[in-house]
């Protein structure tokens, strides 16, 4: 069933768990996400990132994921990820998206408040939830780069807890993405997460669902500590896509003939990618559940 971003994170808040938010850059990932949600009984968020418009255009993937969510037995939110253009958000909302993540983190604070407030008004008109970001992870969303490094190397600016309280009150957002040590892309070392940032924000804005971006690549123990500190949504893309790519590489390597030529059928690669996404998503969904029982 299609579920509002605010409501699906409320489920996470009530159960001290986090919802996996995976990207819809391929049909294989979408299928795997829905199958995992239905089989495990845990909610899931399927996201289309504005940065992936060139990979799979919104006009094609948007109606498909909304329809699949509406027909599913699981709680599924369809969320627009890292939107920097309000007209793009309008397009997603008109297609039936139940959440929008407006990213004004690179704007001056006053402009971030202004545009995030406008995004809140738009989402309210459609009954959708709103996620905004405060602070900077340094590296940009996209998932293609392997230059993520550590947060310090990426030039991250941790979220200021006092400013976060003002930002939440000024914008009317539903959930807040925080910078506390994660980065987009592939980690070159062990991520150093500052859980005090999350604790301080929750002290100032009690029960506000917080969001971890750059979630793939964090250890299972790191996920648990973040969830216990208030994280209710974890964005997971880069490593899932990496593992699926590695699965496809194995298919290609295994198709070499005696003459040295490769005979590879496209459907064999899509099946390998789907099975990889299925295994990865099942693992992270159960880890993010943090011991909570299925809620479906």
CATH for 16: 3.20.20.70
| Catalytic position from the list 81, 103, 174, 200 | 81
Task: Give the phi and the psi of residue 231 in degrees, each rounded to 5.
Answer: -70, 130
User: Would residue 132 count as lying in a domain?
Assistant: yes
Nearest to 211 by CA among 250, 253, 164: 164
Percentage helix, strand, coil, to 5, in the chain? 45, 15, 40
User: For residue 130, what are the β-bridge partners?
Assistant: 100
For 2-6, 28-32, 121-125, 146-150, which range has the lowest pLDDT when averaged over its residues? 146-150
Q: What is the pLDDT of residue 14?
A: 97
241 lies in a domain? yes
Angle (CA) 230-46-290 rounded to 5° is 35
Residue 197 lies in a domain: yes
Q: How many domains is the chain built from?
A: 1
Q: Residue 293 falls within a domain, yes or no? A: no
Task: Name beta bridge partners: 212.
Answer: 178, 234
Q: How many helices (H) and strands (E) does the chain have?
A: 10, 8
Tokens of 159: 């979220």
81 catalytically annotated = yes
Q: How far apart are CA 157 and CA 101, in angstroms?
A: 19
pLDDT of residue 190: 60
In a domain, 295, yes or no: no
Residue 223 and residue 219: Cα distance in Å, rounded?
6
At 248-273, the pLDDT tens digits run 999 988 876 656 677 888 999 999 99
Within 8 A by CB and 6+ apart from 14, the residues are: none
Lowest mean pLDDT among 121-130, 140-149, 284-293: 140-149
Residue 164 lies in a domain: yes
For residues 183 and 184, the model is more confident at 183
Residue 185 within a domain? yes
Give the DSSP H/E element, type plus range, for residue 266: helix 266-288
Q: Say if 126 falls within a structural domain.
A: yes
Residue 158 makes CB contacts below 8 A (sequence gap 6+) with 135, 151, 179, 180, 181, 194, 197
What is residue 188's predicted lDDT score, i.e. its pLDDT? 57
Print the domain residue range for 261: 5-288
């Amino acid at each position: 069933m299609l579920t509002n971003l605010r409501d699906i994170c409320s489920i996470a808040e009530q159960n001290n768990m986090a919802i996996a938010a995976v990207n819809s850059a391929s049909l294989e990932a979408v299928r795997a996400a829905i199958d995992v949600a239905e089989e495990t009984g845990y909610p899931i968020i399927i996201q289309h990132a504005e940065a992936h418009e060139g990979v799979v255009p919104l006009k094609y993937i948007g109606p498909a994921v909304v329809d699949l969510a509406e027909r599913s037995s699981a709680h599924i939110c369809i969320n627009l990820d890292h939107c920097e253009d309000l007209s793009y958000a309008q397009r997603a909302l008109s297609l039936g998206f139940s959440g929008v993540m407006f990213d004004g983190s690179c704007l001056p604070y006053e402009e971030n408040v202004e545009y995030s407030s406008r995004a809140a008004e738009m989402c309210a008109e459609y009954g959708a939830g709103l996620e905004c970001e405060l602070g900077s992870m340094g590296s940009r969303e996209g998932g293609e780069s392997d230059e993520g490094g550590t947060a310090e190397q990426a030039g991250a600016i941790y979220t200021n807890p006092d400013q976060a309280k003002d930002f939440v009150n000024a914008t009317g957002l539903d959930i807040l993405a925080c910078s506390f040590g994660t980065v987009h892309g592939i980690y070159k070392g062990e991520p150093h997460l500052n859980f005090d940032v999350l604790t301080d924000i929750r002290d100032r804005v009690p029960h506000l669902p917080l969001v971890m971006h750059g979630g793939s690549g964090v250890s299972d123990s790191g996920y648990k500590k973040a969830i216990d500190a208030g994280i209710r949504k974890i964005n997971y893309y880069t490593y899932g896509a990496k593992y699926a790519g590695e699965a496809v590489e194995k298919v290609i390597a295994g198709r070499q003939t005696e003459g040295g030529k490769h005979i590879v059928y496209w459907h064999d690669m899509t099946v390998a990618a789907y099975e990889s996404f299925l295994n990865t998503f099942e693992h992270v969904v159960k880890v993010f559940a943090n011991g909570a029982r299925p809620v479906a």
